[in-house]
Structure 1
């Protein structure tokens, strides 16, 4: 059966992004490899930036954004939207692809791992969401989850170890060395070649038009309508200031119509785009100068002094660049209090959870006025996320262990 075929399974926006980062160098290393993708959650828009990649299976945007495991209500909404039928069709697409031979790369957590195992073909796994940092170090504690993970000395569960030890599993990659070491204690040959999330950033000089302003990166998330709600809450929490530039680096959500409907009631009016900012649009309002940049995250993140966040992967990337963040949990379905606190522990407190808009405003003033504290939190974030270069190293590991 042919082996020069690779199918990538991923289950979320962040997982799609990580997979895309790895596929870019893998295509250069293996130009004859036929790559297909099957996004299990959402539309898989991150893959559209890659040439020579085919897509299989159906697409379904879930009301929970793929976070139905966080609440019974989210699961009920997803089931009503057709979750079971869509998953069955995706399984059929996977089976049809597998009958022709090849390799599978699962990116995410239990769902893609289990599907890869059940396919019957050799597979590799990149475990993106779980890290032993979330239970072995602070801030705070999460009883009884911490005790449970400490008893088994791993964030991953026994049934997941079993799938990673499967006879067809050729490769397991973790996000950090601490987590890989924990898995190796349970007989999983886990590697930690580096974190692909820290690749792709574009170092550039801050334009002169912004150098006199305090630069805040707004991260409302990537899923509508949650992203719109998060952005409104962040903007309403900002203290009045003319010295702030608010860098809203986002994707297609919130869309232009939603932004106009959101900004005007909050007192923001369109204004001229500052020279050199590469912004798509600009508003001026109570919180300062707000710039919209679709697809500008990789360029704008290195400019920021502080992040104001209601996002998952983007927050981790920003903190990994050495920029601390303040998070403001909302009603979800993704960015709720439990998610935010787990993220803070993962990042060693480099992102601080604010329990109210007033707490966010207070924390913002503190961090902007304390450069030494920002630098210390930045050092923690860089250590937790690791250096750039993980995409190429992961692609080389796939080439060595999965493709032969």
Structure 2
């Protein structure tokens, strides 16, 4: 069997790669190929899977649905010609037979249907939580926002039509709520979890043993805060500036407690730009790697900065450690914020200027993630939000339960790959 994977975005590429890696472990692994429809598909490099068709980075970075101006920039940058070339590549590949795995939104799904092949769809972009929760439809402010729920699902009728075709053998939504809704239209939807949570925690976590003085130790240990500025320059540098301003407020509010900040920095970012912001705000860099940095992020290349009662660790090599060890996050990111909340932890979000983390994006993300994501209007509000959180243990317990429910358990990529082999081989 031949399988072509279509994905449209960096986050979608990463999810696709996790599923393909699991397929490679299958005893009857298909002959795999891939086509990233957005960007240059760096996530596929090193996987040993051939990439077919044309790839090109667009000016928007893939965020055309948030801003019509970004769409116009992409069209001027050759979007239409790129899309046509990619479609021709998919049709040419399909002529020799095979199946397609579409990962992302309606674009790869439409390509899969137009190919004439059997196909499966991993829906990463949409969730019913954008419109409703288990109690019902969410209240919205404007008429336009309220009209979004009129279609009966976050997936529009033409998207549901594509998912209900006989050639669509399986659909893997983000969460159980979305799966339950799609099944109402006889769509072959399976609730197998969200691959976004794979690779962060082990599928079987170690046992936790509570000590008698655990509560006392908790009040005396450092407050650990994960900083998530996003991964795309130059937006991430502006986000970093806002996050560091928020930290100044935390230093004042928690002046009697030691604070440790874990800066989870994407390798795509220039550390010099981040260092300059820190130095301009009065942070001092330590010359040697501290034991604290080694114990928390296990990265000998990590850099440590200090200011008053606060230490800040910058690392580009310990993303998962930064998520796992943080008590709360200050977040201006997409996937990283969702993964942090999936660990059962709260995040404070500051809307930025975009093109990704705009006020509209942050508001939509707060609907997706529910009470686990706390939106504030500006940086100075972060400290008060964190202080309020840690005064309410019942709220923290609800946040822990909510995160697991909205983002699922680890191991989704393996479960999806096994289901794919069953559904696409039959």
User: SS state of the match for residue 330, structure 2?
Assistant: strand
208, 232, 240: which one pairs with 1:231?
Answer: 240
CA distance change for structure 1 residues 49 and 374 in 2, over 3 Å: closer, same or farther? farther
Superposed CA deviations along residues 110-166 of structure 1, whole A, max 9, x for unmatched, are 111111111111111111121112211387535445533433321100110111122
Are 1:88 and 2:84 an aligned pair?
yes
232-241 or 303-312, which deviates more: 232-241
Secondary structure (helix, strand or coil) at the match of 2:120 reads strand
Q: In the alignment, is residue 220 of structure 1 matched against residue 221 of structure 2?
A: no
Tell me the number of residue pairs that the alignment of Structure 1 and Structure 2 aligns: 396
Q: Which residue of 1 aligns with 2:149?
A: 150
Tell me if 1:60 matches 2:56: yes
| Counterpart-to-counterpart distance in 2, 1:99 and 1:294 | 43
Report SS of the residue matched to 1:185. Answer: helix
Q: Contact conserved, 1:103 with 1:403, CA < 8 A, in 2? A: no
SS in 2 for 1:218: strand
Question: 1:15, 1:108 within 8 Å by CA — same for their partners in 2?
Answer: yes
Alpha-carbon contact 1:227-1:253 (below 8 Å) kept:
no
Equivalent position of 1:172 in the other structure: 171
Does residue 107 (structure 1) correspond to residue 103 (structure 2)? The answer is yes
| Unmatched 5+ stretches in structure 1 | 206-210
Structure 2: distance between partners of 1:36 and 1:250: 30
Aligned: 1:325 with 2:334: no
- Structure 1 contact 139–344 (Cα < 8 Å) conserved: no
Q: Is the 8 A contact 1:105 1:124 kept in 2?
A: yes
Q: 1:30 to 1:248 in 2, by over 3 A?
A: farther
| Aligned residue runs from structure 1 range 250-289, under 5 A | 250-271=265-286, 272-275=288-291, 276=295, 277-279=297-299, 280-286=301-307, 288-289=310-311
1:277-305 Cα deviation digits (max 9, x unpaired): 32333232448322222242223211110
Unaligned runs of 5+ in 2: 207-219
**Higher alpha-carbon deviation: 182-191 or 115-124:** 182-191
CA distance in 1: counterparts of 2:285 and 2:46, whole angstroms? 30
TM-superposed deviation, 1:200: 0.9
- Structure 2: distance between partners of 1:363 and 1:357: 10
Kindly indicate whether the alpha-carbon contact (under 8 Å) linking 2:224 and 2:326 is maintained by their aligned counterparts in 1: yes
Counterpart in the other structure of 1:208: none
Larger radius of gyration: 2
Q: Which residue of 2 aligns with 1:132?
A: 128
CA contact (8 A) 2:132 2:138 kept: no
Structure 1 SS opposite 2:147: helix
Does the 8 A contact of 1:230 with 1:330 survive in 2?
yes
Partner of 1:69: 65
Of 101, 106, 120 in structure 1, the residue corresponding to residue 116 of structure 2 is 120
Note the aligned Cα RMSD (angstroms): 2.4
Q: Is 2:131–2:138's contact at 8 Å kept on the other side of the alignment? A: no
Distance 2:163 2:405 in 1: 27
Please report the TM-score for the alignment, with normalisation by the length of structure 1.
Answer: 0.90
TM-score (norm 2): 0.86
What SS does the corresponding residue of 2:361 show, helix, strand or coil? Answer: helix
1:186 aligns with 185
Q: Deviations over 1:324-382 (max 9, x none)?
A: 10111111111111111111111122111111112223212322454443332222112
